[in-house]
Structure 1
Amino acid sequence: MPPFGPLRLRGSKRRLRRALLRRRRATAAGLAMTAAALAATGAGGAVGAAGAGGDVRAEAAAGAVAAGPPAGRRRAQRPAGMVSAPVRIADAATVRLLRRGDRVDVIAGVGGETEARVVASCARVDEIPAAQESVPGGGALIVLSVPRDTAAALAGASASTRLAVTVC
């Protein structure tokens, strides 16, 4: 075999760069699709609710709309452990200021008028039903999304005292 000089490939650097760039683009596209799928399902890293204050990601997941609207209306999906709690607020004019998605603190009067305690902190307003007819106790109804134990505390407080809300 006769001696010959070193073999030199032309454009190999450019082909290698293009191949790597294509692989990076494919990986980036796959990651973007995965992130979009996680965002759509509400599994953006939140593992349940972190209490009434909640994790920001869990609250974003709570805003996801259910696929099949029950009874002609769409309802928001709640994170695991959250329940809907209907609460009658003593001042109906205050309830008219609220909108769906607002965060409220629910306050119950204790004993005299000077004492009060917070029953639910930063609860999300799920729904504000239309006023049906005058109720003997007055006030207005709202539906809050709260953890199960907070819902029990709200039910107990509403049975014994008048409730008020403040916007968080």
Structure 2
Amino acid sequence: MTTDSCFPHTRTSVPAPCGVPQFDPLRVRGARLRLSRALRRKRRAPAAVLAMTAAALAATGAAGAEDLTPQPPPPPAHASHRPAGVPLVSAPVRIADAATVRLLRPGDRVDVIAAPNAPMGAGGEARVVASGARVAEVPQPGEPRADGGALIVLSVPRPTATALAGAGITSQLAVTLC
């Protein structure tokens, strides 16, 4: 045996380089033709793409979208919505109907309505004392009251807390869920 046949990796000869033949560039024609064919056939894909694009722009709040959305009306002067920079205080409020209070959960928004302590038909209009007040605490389920009322704690601005305290002395208070 020869040494070259036993150890092929020790050969000293290198194969001749082979050249790359010339060819024309490749042209992919399918995608453009499919798109134009889909548009000619009035497929729903372009409409779906446009709808998804519009939804994405609306969700991200693209420039100019604020002009298209209706603006909420300004809150009334007695509202307890917190303007920027106004600190909130805790205001305990006795609600006349304990059954209504059992419907409330912390975090709910309520309007507090004051009805005068007058006999039926004696006049006096009910008025909204606080609008959109956030419920901070509600009584535990086993806390009955002799007068049928229940005490809740609301988070409101200080002027609204003052109005609630004054209305609680002269009127019966009720709540409505916002």
Contact 1:120 / 1:154 at 8 angstroms: preserved in 2? yes
The letter for the 2-side match of 1:129 is P
Contact 1:131 / 1:140 at 8 angstroms: preserved in 2? no
Q: 5+ unaligned residues in a row in structure 1: which ranges?
A: 1-50, 59-78
Equivalent in the alignment of 2:139: 129
Contact 2:93 / 2:164 at 8 angstroms: preserved in 1? yes
Evaluate the alpha carbon distance shift between residue 133 and residue 52 of structure 1 in structure 2; reply closer, same or farther with a 3 A threshold.
closer
When Rg is computed on C-alpha atoms for both structures, the one with the higher figure is 2
> d(CA) in 2 for partners of 1:86 and 1:52?
14
Equivalent in the alignment of 1:109: 115
What are the equivalent positions in structure 2 for 1:1-150 lying under 5 Å apart? Answer: 52-54=80-82, 80-110=86-116, 111=118, 112=122, 115-130=125-140, 134-150=144-160
Superposition RMSD on alpha carbons, in Å? 2.2
Q: After TM superposition, which residue ranges in structure 1, 4 or more long, deviate above 6 angstroms? A: none
Equivalent in the alignment of 1:160: 170
> d(CA) in 2 for partners of 1:114 and 1:131?
33
The letter for the 2-side match of 1:162 is Q
Please give the secondary structure, in 1, of the residue aligned with 2:165.
helix
> d(CA) in 2 for partners of 1:163 and 1:126?
17
Evaluate the alpha carbon distance shift between residue 131 and residue 155 of structure 1 in structure 2; reply closer, same or farther with a 3 A threshold.
farther
Contact 2:90 / 2:155 at 8 angstroms: preserved in 1? yes
Residue by residue, what CA displacement relative to the aligned partner does 1:10-38 show, whole Å, maximum 9, x if unpaired? xxxxxxxxxxxxxxxxxxxxxxxxxxxxx
Larger RCO, structure (CA 8 Å, separation 6 or more): 2
- Offset at residue 53 of structure 1 (A): 2.2
Deviates more, 1:155-164 or 1:108-117: 108-117
Contact 1:124 / 1:145 at 8 angstroms: preserved in 2? yes
Residue by residue, what CA displacement relative to the aligned partner does 1:26-77 show, whole Å, maximum 9, x if unpaired? xxxxxxxxxxxxxxxxxxxxxxxxx61236xx6xxxxxxxxxxxxxxxxxxx
- Offset at residue 163 of structure 1 (A): 0.4
Identity of paired residues, percent? 65
Evaluate the alpha carbon distance shift between residue 139 and residue 113 of structure 1 in structure 2; reply closer, same or farther with a 3 A threshold.
farther
> Larger helix proportion, structure 1 or 2?
1
Equivalences, count: 96
Please give the secondary structure, in 2, of the residue aligned with 1:52.
coil
Contact 1:89 / 1:164 at 8 angstroms: preserved in 2? yes
